[in-house]
Amino acid sequence: MRAASIAALAPIVVTAHVLMLPQLAQGADYLRGSQIEQPVEPPSFSSGRADWSGIYFGGTVGFGTSQFDAAKQSAQLMDQAFHQLLVRPYGVDLIRLGKQGSDKTTFGGFVGYNFLFGDVVLGAELEYQRADFATSEEKSASRLYTNIIPTTVPSTLATEPVGTETVISVAAHSKNKIEDFAVAKFRAGYVMGNFMPYLTLGAAIGRIRSDGRASQQNSTTESYDTYNVVTSVDPLTGAVTYSRGLYAGRASFISDRGASGAGVPKSGYVPGFAIGGGVDALLTDNLFLRAEFQRIYFSEFKGVEAIVDTAKVGAALKF
């Protein structure tokens, strides 16, 4: 009797189990889904609106090239060396120093502040760079000139001036060095998502040392012909008669010789103006990378004009 009751209930249990399978499957899926985090979309690096405003500071490393032009310096030094000498017009332009370049790795730091106006960024920045750009140039020359100085030999029966020969020798050198420089500049940029290209314009000051020197030597030799002189004396009157005899040869002597120099080492600070541009790339809210090119035109210092180009990469923190 009990076995028959169980057999009668079996079809009902099987039917209920089949009907409940979909609900059990959905419950299992729900439980599994509650333990899996939903994927988060990464932020776009080139779109959206980044906040570039605020103070920032960072460091850079780069490559720089310099050009020193000592043409004016050598002209000034040669003019001082010859001063008011008779040979000045012939020797003062014998040589001219020119342009020399130097390449160096640069290191530096910067601090600045940005103001955000919509998509436009305006700011001010102070930068320092250590470079040690140095150049050295030396030149020398000698030339022979004839009859630029009048002869002092008188024309007589026994002598006849031939002329003068003047040798002028000059030498000059210019050694220049920019140890470091600082730039205060304004920046204007445009926000392009997490990128900000910008242009810069500012004033620079550099620490420079210039050792320019020039020297000259000149020597003038006079040459003249000599003759045998026949002398006769009138026995009655005692008058002496001179007449040129045979050609005896040529003689010469140094009638003038001189040397002088000019120039001393000078160190100081020289102003300039800087132009450039670059791009900043914001990695996080507080960290950005930088790539920048800058050219500085320094004012003349002791006759030397200098131009410095730098290409730098760096990183900075923003607050």
Which residues are bridge partners to 185 per DSSP? Answer: 125, 202
pLDDT of residue 1: 39
Query: Which is nearest to 123 in space by CA: 190, 203, 175?
Result: 190
Question: Do residues 61 and 129 make contact, with C-beta atoms less than 8 angstroms apart?
Answer: no
pLDDT confidence of residue 309: 98
Residue 150 in tokens:
């009048």
Q: Which residues, at least 6 apart from 180, have a Cβ–Cβ distance to it below 8 Å?
A: 128, 129, 130, 131, 132, 206, 207
What pLDDT score was predicted for residue 15? 42
Alpha carbon distances (Å) from 313 to 86, 106, 120, 191, 203: 57, 10, 23, 19, 21
For residue 243, the model assigns a pLDDT of: 87
| Residue 82: per-residue pLDDT | 94
Reading the block at residue 169, the tokens are 């020798």
- Mapped onto helix, strand or coil, the DSSP state of residue 18 is helix
Give the pLDDT score at 36: 46
Instruction: Using alpha carbons, select from 51, 74, 18, 61 the residue that is nearest to residue 302.
Output: 74
Copy the structure tokens of residue 24.
């059990």
C-beta atoms surrounding 68 within 10 Å: 30
Q: CATH number for 54-318: choose from 2.120.10.60, 2.40.50.100, 3.40.630.30, 2.40.160.20.
A: 2.40.160.20
| pLDDT for 27 | 46
Using DSSP's 3-state secondary structure scheme, residue 87 falls into coil
Q: Which residues contact 33 (CB under 8 A, 6 or more apart)?
A: none
| Nearest CA among 318, 312, 319, 317 for reference residue 279 | 312
pLDDT digits (tens, 9 = 90+) for 122-178: 999 999 999 999 999 999 999 999 999 999 999 998 999 999 999 999 999 999 999
- Pull the structure tokens for residue 144: 């022979």
Position 182, amino acid: A
- Alpha-carbon distance 112 to 117, whole Å? 17
Whole-prediction pTM: 0.76
- What is the distance between the terminal CA atoms of the chain, rounded to a whole angstrom? 87
Predicted local confidence at residue 232, as pLDDT? 85
**Phi and psi at residue 16, to the nearest 5°:** -65, -40
Burial class (CB in 10 A: 0-12, 13-18, 19+), 162: middle
Where the chain has pLDDT below 70, the residues are 1-49
